[in-house]
Structure 1
Amino acid sequence: MTNGVSDARTGADRLSVPQRIMLLTAVLAAVAVALFVVVVRPLPAASTAVALPWVLWAAAFALSEAFPVHVQVKRDAHTFSVSDLVMAAGLVLTTPGDLVLAQVVGVAAALVLHRRQRGLKLAFNTALFALTAGVATSLYAALCAPMTPDWFWFAALVAIVVATVVGNACIFVVMSLSEGRVDPSNLLAMCTLTVPAAVAAAAIGLLVARTAAHDPAALALLALPTILIIAAYRAYTGAREQQENLRLLHEVTSLLHAGDSQAALGDFLDSVRTAFRAEMAELVLIGPGGPEGATVSRSREGAEPVVMAPLDAPENQQRLLRLTTASGALTTRTGTGRSEPLDTYAAACGLKDAVAAALRTEDRVHGLLLVGGRVGDVTTFTSRDLALLDTFARHVATSLERGRLEENLRQVTDLKEQLRHQALHDPLTGLPNRTLFLDRVRQAVDASGRTGVWPAVLYLDLDGFKPVNDTFGHEAGDILLRTVADRLRGCLRPADTAARLGGDEFVILLNGPIDRFGVTRVVERIRAQLEVPVLLGDDVVTTVGASIGVALGEPGIPDADTLVRHADVAMYAAKRSAGTDFVVYEPGLGNTTSTRKDVVAELAQAIEDGELRTVYQPLIDLRSGRPIGAEALVRWQHPVDGLRSPDQFIGLAEESGLITRIGELVLGDACRQAARWVAECQGQDDLLVTVNLSARQVADDQIVDQVREALAASGLDPHRLVLEITETVLMQDRDAAAATLWLLKGLGVRIAIDDFGTGYSSLAYLRRFPIDMLKVAREFVDGLGRDAHDDVITRAIVELAGTLGLLTVAEGVETTQQSETVTALGCDIAQGYLFSRPIEADAVSAVMSASWLSDNVRPLPVELGRLGSTGELASA
């Protein structure tokens, strides 16, 4: 026998669904009463009836309803009990009127006391039982009339089957009213499950009846197989449900790996809701940062899905998380109070019941998975649902952890590829840099030794670049360099290579076979391209020339470096020979050292004559908009050429060893000026000065003594001095660099990595070396808002520094957009032409003492602090 009732949903016709079910219940009750009065009550007792009070039969019916089997047919849950066993036995052993009365009373008592049914549902199920009992007893009596007693069992089976089909038909009508459509497959699905079960139960009931009539003592023998059959049927339905749950678990969790994460989450929650036959499924995800960034995704019947929405008040979810983390999973039925937080949450959401489980992996809790509002009033969430939801939650947590790991690995791989590209290419022009260019020249020279086909190298130094850079700023200079790089590419064959060595110097590898005539044609194409005006913006147009030196490969060239040096020597000769298209290196032109000696001697004399001077570019605190110090930069005030920038002589100073003397002069001047700023600007505890250390300086045994003497001579507090070192310097001799930096750190100074991200960018040295500050290279800052790679790399550098407790400085800030972007990313300090060009020390002192505030910085609404002496942000 079956009983059930659908959910009530509002219809579009004049009568609502509950009203229609109420009307149907009234009709069923009227038919049942009429059938009982007119047909059933007058029927005589069966010839095999025994004298048992109807109250005992009512107790048997009530007991049969205490062990039901719940089956879900789409949206409606139905209960199948063993009451057909009692009904079949009663047809044989008692009077029809007593049997119908006993079933109605017994079943109604079980529904009220055991299943706590009330209202319309109780009325419908009671009327349904009364009707099916009347149909079974009437049909049994009608079929037995022409039969002999030996065939009464057949009449009983037919009566039970017909009564079962009638009950299914009534439930089918309720389902159709509830869903608003008629689907005959629902009726077929119910009959497929219930008719065989009814026949089996009725057969056992008839065996019980015949045994009771002929050999009552043998009833004890039927007890065990009857119990086993009932238990086997319950086990079958449980195993069937478990198999279905495993299938759903695989299908649902696989949705998390769909391509579109937003759509995947929505489909996942829809499937969870379907799997648990619930009105609502909700997923709360908590990031590594804690509940502040928690999100909620929700699928609810009849409502628009919610995906990754911020949690307005995560307190309830936090309480649920604490409970589920401790107990594994929670379940509640509204009003019971067994799990107060979940009960309160379910009631607030309008759910009659709910179940929740934490998303846990070994390292942390990722969130919460909750389903609520079990569809169908017959069933609620059980211990099996708890176990299934907990399994779902663990699979989801594992999938999320794996997905996050895969995403992190992908990001790490992409970042490594970006860093590898940055290590081999010029960030500004995209051309190969010195490292990659020399590697290709070596390959060409090595191949030439086997094939006899020699390459040529062209060395270009732009004429007229410095005035453009000084007059119109670095942004205009960058436009010019990028334009020249693009035009050089267009002048070459696919097998050739153009590279930028730094500043305004470019080199070209022409793969062989190539001769003087072929070089002349390439030079002519290059000069034709350079003569085309370059638009720098705001109607500013310029042209540049180039001094070009050429080195032709030939037998006897020892290595690639020699070939490039020969081209360099030829370039210097071309620069001294005005009006020459290009100069080809020849032994008579002078060896490498003779050309260099003149320039080195000129630079050495400039140091002695005091032509090198130090200028300073202010450092701006992005939290307050005020200057907190400056970076010391060296310039060469040449008596003929005017002011020379560092890229025109620092490389030569490094090669010749003069950089040590230059660095000592800059360090001493920077310490003296910083000490003067401190004296003139009382109360600025965060004022500092930064000085670059070259590779030769770091390798020099005297560097620690030089820094100590500069601090002592100036009286500058050590913590105000920041020494900047490039990544390349650190990687040349790690052990020696580490030893030197730790000795410098012992003086109390701070260490910064200059142009972070453009070199090796090994995270190992951040742990090995005493680093206090990372300087984001101007190449990345320049691309903010225009290059997605630069955005990702800059954000990664700032977040990495924040995680390690390091300060970040954004170099080369030239636009308001760049300033706002680096501020939003969390950079601490910025410098660039937007705030100030490099200025004299006296101008810096005036800026500091005037408490100057930059109009190009949007200070944060809450004073977060300022730069303290320990390299952290100290409160103001």
Structure 2
Amino acid sequence: MTTMTNGADAVQTNVLGRLTPSQRIVLLTATVAVAAVALFVIVVRPLPGAPTALNLPWVLWAAAFAVGEVLVVHWQWKRDAHSFSMGDLVLAVGLFLATPTQLVTAMALGSGAALVLHRRQRGLKLAFNVAELALGAAMALIVFHTLSGVLGQQLDWVAALAAVLTATLTADLCIFGIMTILENRVDTRKLVELLGLSVPFALGSAGMGLVVARTVVNDPASLALLSLPTLLILVAYRAYTGAKEQQDNLRLLHEVTSLLHAGDTQEALGDFLDSVRSAFRAEMAELVLLGPTGREGATVSRSREGTEPVVMAALDDPEDHHRLLRLATASGALTTRTGTGRGAPLDSYAAGHGLKDAVAAALRTEDRVHGLLLVGGRIGDVTTFTSRDLALLETFARHVATSLERGRLEENLRQVTDLKEQLRHQALHDPLTGLPNRTLFLDRARQAVDAAGCSDVWPAVLYLDLDGFKPVNDTYGHEAGDVLLRTVADRLRGCLRPADTAARLGGDEFVVLLTGPIDRFGVTRVIQRIREQLEVPVLLGDDVVTTVGASIGVALGEAGLPDADTLVRHADVAMYAAKRSAGNDFVLYEPGLDSTTSTRKDTTAELAHAIEAGQLRTVYQPLIDLRTGRPVGAEALVRWQHPVDGLRTPDRFIDLAEETGLIIGIGEQVLNDACRQAARWVAESPDRDDLLVTVNLSARQVADDRIVDQVRAALAGSGLEPHRLILEITETVLMQDRETAAATLWLLKDLGVRIAIDDFGTGYSSLAYLRRFPIDMLKVAREFVDGLGRDAHDDVITRAIVELAGTLGLLTVAEGVETVQQSETVASLGCDIAQGFLFSRPVEADAASAIISASRIRGDLRALPAGMPRCDPADELASA
């Protein structure tokens, strides 16, 4: 006979149709109960007793069924437990020796009492099992009496076997109904498995019952003779199972404890706990190890069914574990289900972790306690942990403690703990400076903001971006840059209180969390200390000394702040505002400050659309040969013909295009237009060998591996001779990535084009890179040209640049020539070419063609012929 053992415990609450699984089980239980009562009242009670029935009190039969329910054989299958009781034997006997009413009543009440007292079943599970037993007894009696009348007295044993099988089939169908409800699907394989397990046992029990019944009827004295071999068989079976269990335990003990000596301690601990859990058929196994000094450094390793193992984690509930440890140390072991006394704390711990029972043992040696081994949640509720399990666990615990005492595991575990701490530190700190990284900083900022929500003591965040770091990194190398970053990090630490946090977010960006209470005055004092430290020169090595500044944005926490991420973002926005407004000591975030960011996003989208819609126009500023006064070409520049506010000059969108990468498309368009226009100028004046066009390349373009192909395609598409195209690059672009820049320029040089350095003298002017890069032209920056005749330094610098170019065989171009005096001065210095408002503003392509075709342009002819289109002036001629 089978009974449901853990179906109702797993009742879920997900909604299926109108009824929950719990409600469906209640409905099934009620249906079985009603069917049992109906069959008993209508069919069973009128049935006559068997001719061999004895006049015994029904209480005796109830006691027999109770004993039969206690004498069970348990079968464990994965997480499901099935019990096969001797109730089938009693049922087979009762069919012949009890009246129908006695049999049904005794089976329901006797077996039900055993379920309550022995198996501790309650509630819905108990109600279901009692109803199923009553229904099975009623069905068995009906089948027995029906078949007995047909087969006759000689074959009534066949009717008895069929009756017991009917009761078994009834029980299996009821249990299958529960499983179907819980799994929300019909799996007939489960029913086949149930029948395969229960039917053979039911037939065996029924056969023994028939022997007992016939012996009672024919020769009652023989029962004594039958009981003796039966008792011997039971004793032998128990001795065999006990010996086998002991043998299995010894084997498991050897296998499990040998895992502790494996090379990989982490993996060994996980395998050890998995094996312990398997040995005890338990849901969870847990190993608590104390630190060298006791509680400090205590860790827990855990293996639980259906979850990833936990190895050497910090104790999440140290008080509970240490309470269990004290009790287990005093007694050697603990077990649950004691109700009161020493087992109560373990009961509480098990309930808190969703376990129905648990056992625990201290890891003890003669001189110390090492920890605690705990096993919980015996799979299936048919059985629980026994005294044998407790003894086995104590043996396991002694072996583990011995291994720890010898130091084989303890030293490895300490190393693992140290390694974990190192890995944790590395995961949360910047490897270069040792400062907290973004992850750790945001965690501390979130804690500070969360605490401020309760205490109203708000923190502040400083966002720092170093000014001047990139030139140091590019000029002196990454090692010098690293020295600078480490020095800044050390000085930043020294400016803060112990409770504050400085972190490096990456590159040359640092961030500081100032714990509250802090106001603007306090922030100002901190920033003053930081700036004083940054002004101290930094020795980079080889007598190289430098200083850096910082753009600082500040965000003060206040009531209503949604989260720490917002506080950091506000500081970031303020930092960019500080960077834009050079000269400010720092910028404090205020509402509306980040509107620039949203405007920036809108402008980016607008610029992308302008590129696709053809709103960008290429204009040209003529280049004048200072020896002949004749135009020899033009520099290609870009303008944005905005549909609403008219012509936008480059200073309003080029920086944005460079940062967003849109400059790649803009630069390619300008390059193609310039090559086509230059080819047109050459076609209109085929005898002119000096005609040329200059086009600016941005940092993004130089770094883009497609630039060589783009230049090649522009030359091929326009038919322009390569030597007529001059590509202008600033010194800063050259020095950002010298290796990439050199490789790209030499590839461009191989195409036959020429290379010019724009704004020479304002950046990293160095003979070294003039030798390293394939340079053909130097353009004197407008800053120096503007100061000619007024600033002696500008005169000297301009003369030096021109003389240097002449020595190296390079052409020179003076930019920004606006007066006749400037034109005459640069010409007298030996400059080859000039451009500027004195000769022409940037003009449309047709106007540029008209100027270039002129034989000579005088410095005072800034007015263009009537009808010739003019471009609006730009205060700042930025490159594309």
Output the TM-score relative to the length of structure 1. 0.43
Which of the two has higher C-alpha Rg?
2
Output the TM-score relative to the length of structure 2. 0.43
